[in-house]
Amino acid sequence: MPEYEGIPYNLVVDGKIMEKNLQKIGKNTTWLSKQVEKFGIKPEQALLVTFDGKEQIFCQKKGEKDV
């Protein structure tokens, strides 16, 4: 049986930082920016950034708009 990982927190949704969720995990926007930069983007460029109970970060960049 897989180990329970806890509820993931959405930290960025469609480029918008979820301040309350950052507070719940005891982090701030400076920390978030540094984590997202590891993926080569800024928080406002992310479609979704999550943080799970194992302190792993998932980051998905917004799709490029068709011209």
Q: Is residue 2 part of a domain?
A: no
Say if 25 falls within a structural domain.
yes
Mean pLDDT of the chain: 90
Given a cut of 70, is residue 18 above it in pLDDT? yes
Domain count, the chain: 1
In which domain, by residue range, is 38 found?
Answer: 9-51
Q: Is residue 67 part of a domain?
A: no
Mean pLDDT calculated for residue range 18-46 = 96
Q: Is residue 62 part of a domain?
A: no
Percent of the chain with pLDDT over 70: 88
Residue 66 domain flag: no
Confidence of residue 65 (pLDDT cuts 50, 70, 90): low
pLDDT value of residue 1: 75
pLDDT surpassing 50 at residue 28: yes
Distance CA 47, CA 6 (A): 22
